[in-house]
Amino acid sequence: MLEALVKQNNTKLILVVLDGIGGLPVEDGKTELELAHTPNLDKLAKVSALGMHIPVDIGITPGSGPGHLGLFGYNPAEHNIGRGILEALGLGLEVRDTDVAIRANYATVRYEQGRPIVVDRRAGRIPTEENRRITQKLKENIRKIGDVEVLIESGMEHRCAIVFRFPEPLEEGSDMVTDTDPQKEGLEALEPKALTPQAKKVAEVAKEFVRLAAEILKEEEKANYLLLRGFSQKPKIKNFEERFGLRACAIAVYPMYRGLASLVGMQVVKVEGGIQEELQKLEELYKDYDYFFLHIKKTDSYGEDGNYKGKVRVIEEFDEALPSILSLNPDVLVITGDHSTPSVLKGHSWHPVPVLLKSPYVLGGTSQRFTEKEALKGELGIFPAYKLINLMLAHSLRLAKYGA
């Protein structure tokens, strides 16, 4: 129904995602948002609509993929993105309809009668620099398997991503291939097996890739084998602009979030640095797009580290930069997170996430600060994250009336 109501105008919409912004009490009964000195956010909250969103479902802890898909207007329960895709996108690899992406671990094996027995599934968490050296060796020696192009990209420590690029688009179900990781040391590394007829060729290519990689890596002290996990195809997701009539731009430092945005068809802008560099890019491109997704990562990173003071500092840094966003005078500004990352849990959590929506058409005056408790007082209530796009479109006057 929503897509049928979308209409065009010249309004500008900005979605700021403070990754993992939600929290729980960490000091004197206060969350990171409550501890932070945020005069600009407080002033904005008083004239905005506040509420809480649920990223996936009640009690479900979301990953970054589902969390962002919801904010982009896609029900994450209907669009499950495989681990291989996320790993590949996160490392900056392009993924096409012809591809199967795989998440891989360098591992240590010993051979017993020619059988690879896993000694360490993560190769002792080799340094990232060592990973890059080994990955480069694989890149130079495995470029194609038959008519299938092989793309490999190093990740952090023991992780890397692999893309098998076939000459023609793949049928649905071609990624139904079993992992080679036995999930436990002391067991033999598994062979990739096709679970569907469509996956047969993918499994054959994977088997040959594992054999070639093992031969190339056999002299390595620790990373002498590769374990493959999370075979996945590019999901079929309707284009963001086609659905919502918005020319969209994504501004993010970390590759995974650029990848997620590209998955739905946003124009992706690569930027290095921090909040100031991202805001500078926003200002440069402001006239060229209708909708901007601006991603800020470090709130989540410090939450996962259990460093609540670091998370507070990032919130305060964003607060200092907020006037530069407001100076652009967007018709709709939303500030929220993709999920909660309470420092006390050192990870993502199932808790609802605070949302602030600024437009000329809000009631306002219900909340005094941008915090979890004040958001619970707000006029937006608690709603599914994938409905946020409805609110942004409505407040930008981009939705026609429904019915007579």
Is residue 128 within 8 A of residue 140, CB to CB? The reply is no
Is 358 strand, coil or helix? Answer: strand
Amino acid 336: pLDDT: 98
| Per-residue pLDDT reduced to its tens digit, 99-156 | 999 989 999 989 998 899 888 888 888 888 889 999 999 999 999 999 999 999 998 7
Out of 3.40.640.10, 1.10.357.10, 3.40.720.10, 3.30.460.10, the CATH code matching 2-80+238-395 is: 3.40.720.10
Which of these, 17, 34, 20, lies nearest to 373 by C-alpha position? Answer: 34
Q: Each residue of 52-79: b (16+ CB within 10 Å) or e?
A: bbbbbeeeebbbbbbbbbbbbbbebeeb
Which of these, 85, 33, 20, lies nearest to 375 by C-alpha position? Answer: 33
Amino acid 140: pLDDT: 93
Q: What is the mean pLDDT of residues 165-185?
A: 92
Amino acid 184: pLDDT: 87
Is residue 371 within 8 A of residue 37, CB to CB? The reply is no
Q: What is the largest CA-CA distance in the chain?
A: 76
Examine the pLDDT at 23 and tell me if it is beyond 80. yes
Q: What is the mean pLDDT of residues 13-22?
A: 97
Confidence of residue 258 (pLDDT cuts 50, 70, 90): confident
| Per-residue pLDDT reduced to its tens digit, 302-340 | 998 899 999 999 999 999 999 999 999 999 999 999 999
| Per-residue pLDDT reduced to its tens digit, 24-82 | 999 999 999 999 999 999 999 999 999 999 999 999 999 888 899 999 999 998 887 77
Amino acid 83: pLDDT: 78
Amino acid 285: pLDDT: 95
Amino acid 85: pLDDT: 86
Amino acid 21: pLDDT: 97
Q: What are the φ and ψ backbone dihedral angles of 76, each rounded to 5 degrees?
A: -65, -20
Examine the pLDDT at 86 and tell me if it is beyond 80. no
Examine the pLDDT at 161 and tell me if it is beyond 90. yes
Distance CA 135, CA 229 (A): 17
Could you tell me where the DSSP H helices lie in 36-177?
Answer: 39-46, 64-71, 83-90, 128-141
Amino acid 100: pLDDT: 95
Amino acid 7: pLDDT: 94
Q: Which is more confident, 261 or 32?
A: 32
Q: What is the DSSP letter of 21?
A: B
**Domain locations in the chain as residue ranges:** 2-80+238-395, 85-233
Confidence of residue 159 (pLDDT cuts 50, 70, 90): confident
Amino acid 271: pLDDT: 85
Of 43-47, 156-160, 290-294, 375-379, give the lowest mean pLDDT range: 156-160
CA distances from 331 to 15, 217, 222, 362 (A): 11, 55, 55, 12
Amino acid 54: pLDDT: 97
Mean pLDDT of the chain: 93
- The partner residues of 220 in beta bridges, in order of sequence, read none
Record the pTM. 0.80
Residue the block writes with tokens 């460093």: 307
